[in-house]
Amino acid sequence: MDRDSFMRRAIALAEENVTVSGGGPFGAVIVRDGHIVGEGTNQVTGSHDPTAHAEVVAIRAACRELGSFSLAGCEIYASCEPCPMCLSAIYWARLDRIYYGNSKTDAAAIGFDDDHIYREIPLPISERAIPTERMLANEALAAFRAWDISDTKIKY
């Protein structure tokens, strides 16, 4: 398969998710060495999970398939430009490249507007819309200290 075929598969997943599953209009596929290793559709409302975006679902499927938390050497084809959460997950998964169909502006036009999140990210914590407070910092450091000296940690 070629790049257009992979993108068409992501788009088809998005369309099927609307017409068959009743979910959001988003699909994604992850490809390694010319083969699909993970697919996902938006499952937010059906699973009652706000993190079940197509890209995250595809990342989880590809990681299971490959037996690794790293998707280095893989590419993602998403029917829409990834939102901030999905973009972060893509970076954490170490995907090599992102291809997308619809833009975030296209998504906003049908009610999927992530611009408020993009505006929140660079703000100082004290100015963000959701109040955030640091607590028990000294106690929380115990877990970090344990990790730092652990002989069994797997770095990622």
Enzyme catalytic residues = 55
Q: How far apart are CA 27 and CA 109, in angstroms?
A: 18
In this structure, how many other beta carbons lie within 10 angstroms of the beta carbon of residue 31?
A: 24
> Phi/psi of residue 25, each to 5°?
-85, 55
The three-state (H, E, C) secondary structure of the chain, written as one string: CCHHHHHHHHHHHHHHHHHHHCCCCCEEEEEECCEEEEEEECCHHHHCCCCCCHHHHHHHHHHHHHCCCCCCCEEEEEEECCCHHHHHHHHHHCCCEEEEEECHHHHHHCCCCCHHHHHHCCCCHHHCCCCCCCCCHHHHHHHHHHHHHCCCCCCC
